[in-house]
Amino acid sequence: MGLLQLLKSQFLCQLIICYVFLVSGLIVNLLQLCTSPLWLVNKQLARRVNVKLGYCISSQMVAALEWWSGTECTLYTDPQSYPLYGNENAIVVLNHSFEIDFLCGWTFCERFGVLGSSKVLAKEQLSYVPIIGWMWYFLEIVFCKRKWEEDRRTVAKSLQKLRDYPVNYWFLLFCEGTRFTQKKHEISMQVAESKGLPKLKHHLLPRTKGFWITVQNLRGTAAAVYDSNLNFRDKAAPTLLDILNGKKFHADLYVRRIPLESIPEDEAECGAWLQRLYQEKDTFQEHYAKTGRFPGPTVSPPRRPWTLINWLFWACLLLYPLGLLFAQLLSSGSMLTIVFSVALCFAASLGVRWMIGQTEINRGSSYGDKEVPLNNN
Ligand SMILES: CC/C=C\C/C=C\C/C=C\C/C=C\C/C=C\C/C=C\CCC(=O)SCCNC(=O)CCNC(=O)[C@H](O)C(C)(C)COP(=O)(O)OP(=O)(O)OC[C@H]1O[C@@H](n2cnc3c(N)ncnc32)[C@H](O)[C@@H]1OP(=O)(O)O
Ligand SMILES: CCCCCCCCCCCCCCCCCC(=O)OC[C@@H](O)COP(=O)(O)O
């Protein structure tokens, strides 16, 4: 192990990264809250300000991936579509098998200049996660309860609000609705069988309603669907803790641009279209499993310095006062203050660990892992 790698695996370094993320995140959340009156006066300006503020938070996680862990990202895509990425609104459909798929998604957003404005159809529970969830509130992220009776109205309403968003954005949809586990796969393939659909090997059966409602509500606003498949070289399945430990990976992303006009408007036809898309996605994953690459030409969009500059800014701002605080604490000699400070640090570490836990598949929800009564009509 090299010296740099040894340094990256040190708990103290990881503690510093988490401290900067936690404190700067809360400061940014507070600043976002302060933009509330601006929404009443100039909504578009408030949105632009929040895009920049959101960037301060999400780019720290991207910096951890691309600068701290040094993870590399290769894009497989058609060269004619490449110049459009980042210059139009798009709906991204991505496979959902990895704990850091969202982070790789963010990295591509960063490289095409849409990180601050990136959107997702997220489960409601994530809106309560401090920092990220609170940031999302101001970025108009669309939340769902994964209960169609309630979501059909609320999701459509939130999507309608994005029609006049002043900055280009990518709207991410994990149509599988939950992360891949063996059990969820078996159950969803029973559903596939009952619906007379071909079985998928690498994906769960997609839920079609969220896709249909998104396409319908963003028609005329989003230009295309970016059908995306993510994999890691050497069959790796990286976790957020691996990234914090500075472990390097290589992500491969295969993207096909599909004009939105080519997607059927009718709900049933749109659903059938998505099922066919997932059958194709499955063949690409199979191709990757067999050959270790996706079809087509590759390009590696370069990492930009902004994520690192943003992190260094916050680190300089927040580490100096922390040092002063430590010095004062030690010189005060007060046992009570020291014990209180240690307890506070311990509570903060538990909080960060809980947040990281939100990304872990083995702590995931039970959505999609219950046997469903199958109706073959
Ligand atoms: C150039 C570069 C390109 C790309 C770069 C890549 C990415 C970058 C882009 C953007 C980045 C932005 C942000 C990233 C940051 C963070 C993201 C983090 C995480 C958030 C992720 C989540 O939270 S995922 C979970 C929430 N999202 C979803 O669930 C979406 C999919 N779900 C749906 O669409 C659902 O339909 C619904 C949620 C709208 C409603 O849910 P409900 O459960 O009520 O579903 P359905 O009504 O659909 O379910 C009933 C139907 O499903 C059938 N069924 C039953 N059991 C199963 C089963 N086990 N599997 C499959 N299907 C099942 C049932 O038979 C019903 O069938 P119908 O025929 O009646 O539909
Ligand atoms: C700079 C780096 C500092 C790192 C330290 C702090 C880390 C804080 C991390 C908070 C991350 C919260 C963002 C959550 C994104 C979760 C993504 C996700 O994939 O959600 C799962 C859902 O799709 C489906 O859920 P399941 O039904 O599988 O359950």
In-domain check, residue 203? yes
Closest ligand (CA of 171): 1
Closest protein CA for atom 2 of ligand 2: 61
> 358 in a domain, yes or no?
no
- What pLDDT tens digit does each residue of the chain (377 aa) get? 688 888 888 888 998 999 999 999 999 999 999 999 999 999 999 999 999 999 999 999 999 999 999 999 999 999 999 999 999 999 999 999 999 999 999 999 999 999 999 999 999 999 999 999 999 999 999 999 999 999 999 999 999 999 999 999 999 999 999 999 999 999 999 999 999 999 999 999 999 999 999 999 999 999 999 999 999 999 999 999 999 999 999 999 999 999 999 999 999 999 999 999 999 999 999 999 999 999 999 998 999 999 999 999 999 999 999 888 888 888 887 888 888 888 888 888 899 999 999 999 999 999 999 877 655 44
- Do the beta carbons of residue 117 and residue 51 sit within 8 Å? yes
Query: Does residue 122 lie within any of the structural domains?
Result: yes
Between strands 90-94 and 170-173, the pairing is parallel
Going from the Cα of 35 to the center of ligand 1, the distance in angstroms, rounded, reads: 31
Domain containing residue 38? 29-308
Ligand 2 centroid, distance to 220 Cα (angstroms): 31
Residues with CB under 6 A from ligand 1: 85, 92, 94, 102, 105-106, 108-109, 118, 120-123, 126, 144, 146-148, 151, 170, 172-175, 177, 187-188, 191, 204-205, 207-211, 226, 228, 255, 368, 372
Q: Which of 65, 129, 369 to mutate to test the pocket of ligand 2 (most atoms within 8 A of CB)?
A: 129
Query: 359 C-alpha vs ligand 2 centroid, how far in Å?
Result: 4
Alpha carbon nearest to ligand 1 atom 2, residue: 108
Nearest ligand (C-alpha, residue 150): 1
What is the side-by-side order of every strand in the sheet holding 90-94?
Answer: 142-144, 119-123, 170-173, 90-94, 224-232, 250-259, 72-77, 298-299
Contact 40, 82 (CB under 8 A): no
Residue 5 lies in a domain: no
- The pick from 190, 207, 216, 298 for probing ligand 1's pocket by mutation, whose C-beta has the most ligand atoms within 8 angstroms, reads 207
Could you tell me if residue 354 is inside a domain?
Answer: no
Regarding the beta carbon of 102 and ligand 2, being less than 6 Å apart is answered yes
What separation in angstroms does the CA of 357 have from each of 75, 346, 351, 354?
Answer: 28, 16, 10, 5
* Nearest protein Cα to ligand 1, atom 60: 188
State the pLDDT at residue 375: 55
Query: In the prediction, which pLDDT does 330 show?
Result: 82
Residue 316 lies in a domain: no
Cβ pair 31, 49 in contact under 8 A: no
Q: Is residue 346 part of a domain?
A: no
User: Within 13 A of 359's CA, how many CA atoms are on the CB side?
Assistant: 21
Q: At what angle do helices 11-34 and 335-357 cross, to 10 degrees?
A: 80
Domain harbouring 278, CATH code: 3.40.1130
pTM of the full structure: 0.96
Give a yes or no: residue 166 inside a domain.
Answer: yes
Q: What is the pLDDT of residue 377?
A: 40
Domain tally, the chain: 1
Question: Cα dihedral angle (320, 322, 327, 331), rounded to 10 degrees?
Answer: 150
